[in-house]
Amino acid sequence: MPVILAVVAAITGLLFFILRARNASNAAVELFDVANDVRLAARRFGFRRQTNLHPAESIEEPNIAISGIASAFLELDDLPTSDQREALAWEMTETLKVSKADADELCILGRWMVSECGGADAAISRLCRKLYRLDPQGLSPLLALVSNTVAKSSSGGLNLKQTEALDDVKRAFRIK
């Protein structure tokens, strides 16, 4: 009887480790897919990362900067929910006049830009300066996007961090 219990325990242990290895493999594949989504979105919008240059400085299209700033505004309130991210994508289709697929990819690229900048606060100031250099008239679609998505999705209007971020936007666009 002890031999049978030992064999059953060994088989159970082997199955346990096989399932753990399979789960680790699946997690690695999912991480690769996420990185691939960012890479494909960047390629679609013509974003090329340059050596010794911050990714935010490599932006050549104002919509990428606008999506990054809007994503950062969402993160200033709290970690955004999937509903808030979906609302942001839909608002991008209306405000920026892009397709739903392009808006989804802009959201992916915007979140990546925020993470590359080291957080929402740094992303807003850096991306606003870049947006001003790319398109000084880019403030109106940015404010429309932020007011329609972020202000509606947050509870009770803008919080302190978001109002301070709006001050950063004013400074970047040289508004008094």
Residue 67 in tokens: 């999506």
In angstroms, rounded to a whole number, what is the distance separating the alpha carbons of residues 170 and 68? 17
Question: What is the phi/psi pair of residue 52, to 5°?
Answer: 60, 30
What is the chain's alpha carbon radius of gyration, rounded to the nearest angstrom? 22
The pTM of the full predicted model, rounded to 2 decimals, is 0.72
Residue 49: per-residue pLDDT: 64
User: Could you read off the pLDDT tens digit of each residue along the chain, which spans 176 residues?
Assistant: 788 888 888 888 888 888 888 888 777 777 667 667 776 666 666 666 666 788 888 888 899 899 999 999 888 877 788 888 888 899 999 999 999 988 988 898 899 889 889 999 999 999 999 999 998 888 889 888 888 876 666 666 778 888 888 888 888 888 87
State how far the Cα of 176 lies from the Cα of 155, in Å rounded to an integer. 28
Q: What is the pLDDT of residue 3?
A: 86
Angle at which helices 82-95 and 100-117 cross, to 10°? 120
What is the domain partition of the chain in residue ranges? 1-44, 55-172
CA separation for the pair 142, 110 (Å, rounded): 13
